[in-house]
Structure 1
Amino acid sequence: MPTDTPQPAFVLVRPQMGENIGAAARAMWNFGLDRMRIVAPRDGWPNPKAVAMSSGAGRLLDEAQLCADVPEALGDCTYVFATTARQRGLTKPVYSPERAMQIAAQKIASGEKVAVMFGPERAGLENEDIAKANAIISVPVNPLYASLNLGQCVLLTGYEWMRQSAEVVHETTDLGRKGEWASGVEVEKLVEHYEERLDAAGFFFPPEKAEGMKTNLRNLWSRMRMTRSDVQMLHGIMRQMVRWKERGGE
């Protein structure tokens, strides 16, 4: 059974190739969407090529709702978007995918049932299909090459849905399995270690410039976001250099 997560239904209208249905299923499942409705697929249903292309999203295909026509697919919906890359001359609001999914999230949160229609690969939705929609989703693409693959269009819309329904982390740092950021105390001990050893080596010279050099060095450390492993490695480097020098290294 589909999950209970509130979400729009994605309606594939007369899709032509099983591979594209599978790609659409995979794209939906990438973003936690599992309510697919398939209207009059050209090559019949079920389609083994769709399953092969779905790459692990076969459950979504097993639970997909097969519909004879568009009215059946939209029968329980209160608000419908139609995706198209062409100007149709129809008086309807036209939204970007981002804005459309913002509206979808608002309507679903208020209890409405929302659907997004995607057209067949060759020419997209017919005007007759779009006339059944409340609004249009238009992707800002290269006007000289505006055609999007079915799976690509589903993926893009699914991503915009996820941005509205879940927190997106826009930047992070992979610290590895054992990585932790170094604390202020750990960094301060590293700074003291280096200052002590560099001072003993006569690095802070001449004396009147020593404090300024130490300030510049501390500023360098503060610009380096270090993990605990980084700090330990830098301690080890300095200790090894001191040992090497004490053994008479040149």
Structure 2
Amino acid sequence: MNLPKTDTSLFQRLRIILVETSHPGNVGAAARAIKTMGFHELVLVNPRFDDVLSNPEAIAFASGAQDILNNTRIVASIDEALHGCEFVAAVSARLREFSPPVLPPRAFAESMAGSQHARIGLIFGSERFGLPNDIVMNCNALINIPANPQYSSLNLAQAIQLLTYECRVATDSALSGIHHIGFEGKLASSDEIDGMYRHLEQALIAIQFLNPDNPKKLMPRLKRMLARAQLEVEEVNIMRGIAKHILDLTTKKQ
């Protein structure tokens, strides 16, 4: 399914901001993480290396997300990076005594997917020092990723992947309900399913798997099991084809 890219879509409104990133490979991996989830805007604030976007390690770790690197902006201050943003969230494993409201990733994503903010800034700190308190305190929210309390530090690209994944899922749901990947056929009607059950019951009786005089709970259990599958028309036809083949075989043997 191709999601519409409009000015109101979170795919167009979310800006990923990396502050004082140390390793070029992490910038490349971040670009890859962003692209795989359908986002595109990456801004670097004072990265350690001025040539980070052309660094061979960044290009290698981007692994096909070169277009994201090509369009990445490098700025000198967090104020410049946040220009135009109406909502700003910081991502940190370290909670502060004085901080904006703390949100888990999913709550943040769901809130932003349904918001009308023109631009949303999502800030990640450096690998070595994280984010300084003055940046966190000026944000609208602090996002804390639930993790092992004894080892809660995620790799930078992993954290970006997790947040952008949650944003994608929330956006999919906001636009079109739960998003299923792959082909989806037409769901079978109750009449079609009832016909399948009758056909299947006849086949099971024919091979003496089901005793019509003592059926016990076989058919109700089969119905319960198959009901969880939310059968499509083609799947019902397959089941009826199996039942027909069984009946044809048993008729020939008689």
Check whether TM > 0.5. yes
Identify if the C-alpha distance between structure 1 residues 194 and 133 changes in structure 2 by more than 3 Å, giving closer, same or farther: closer
Which of 146, 149, 152 aligns to 2:152? It is 146
Q: Is the 8 A contact 1:179 1:229 kept in 2?
A: no
Residues 178 and 235 of structure 1, relative CA distance in 2, 3 Å threshold: farther
Deviation at 1:222, TM superposition (A): 2.1
Matched, 1:219 2:220: yes
Match of 2:52 in 1: 45
Distance 1:178 1:34, change over 3 A: closer
1:231 alignment partner, one of 226, 237, 240? 240
1:187 to 185, 188, 197: 197
Q: 1:242 to 1:180 in 2, by over 3 A?
A: farther
Deviation, structure 1 residue 134: 2.9
Confirm or deny: 8 A CA contact 1:26 1:57 kept in the other structure.
yes
In structure 1, list runs of 5 or more residues that go unmatched: 205-209
Task: Look up the SS of the partner of 2:13 in the other structure.
Answer: coil
Q: For residue 241 of structure 1, report the CA deviation from its aligned partner.
A: 5.5
Q: C-alpha root-mean-square deviation of aligned residues, in Å?
A: 3.3
Query: How many pairs align?
Result: 231
Contact 1:191–1:221 (CA<8 Å) still a contact in 2?
A: no
Change (3 A) 1:219 1:73: same
CA displacement 1:49-90 (0-9 Å, x = unmatched):
222222332212211122122221112223211111113333
**CA positional deviation for 1:237:** 4.2
C-alpha separation between the residues in 2 aligned to 1:11 and 1:212? 68
1:242–1:147: structure 2 CA closer, same or farther, 3 Å change rule? same
Task: Write out aligned runs for 1:12-161 (5 A).
Answer: 12-43=18-49, 44-46=51-53, 47-107=55-115, 109=116, 111-161=117-167
Distance 1:212 1:101 in 2: 54
Partner secondary structure for residue 81 of structure 1: strand
Q: What's the TM-score, normalizing by structure 2? A: 0.75
Q: Is contact 2:103–2:144 with CA below 8 Å preserved after alignment?
A: yes
Distance 1:237 1:137, change over 3 A: same
Bigger Rg over Cα: 1
Q: Which moved more, 1:74-83 or 1:40-49?
A: 40-49
Report the identity percentage: 29
Deviation at 1:135, TM superposition (A): 2.4
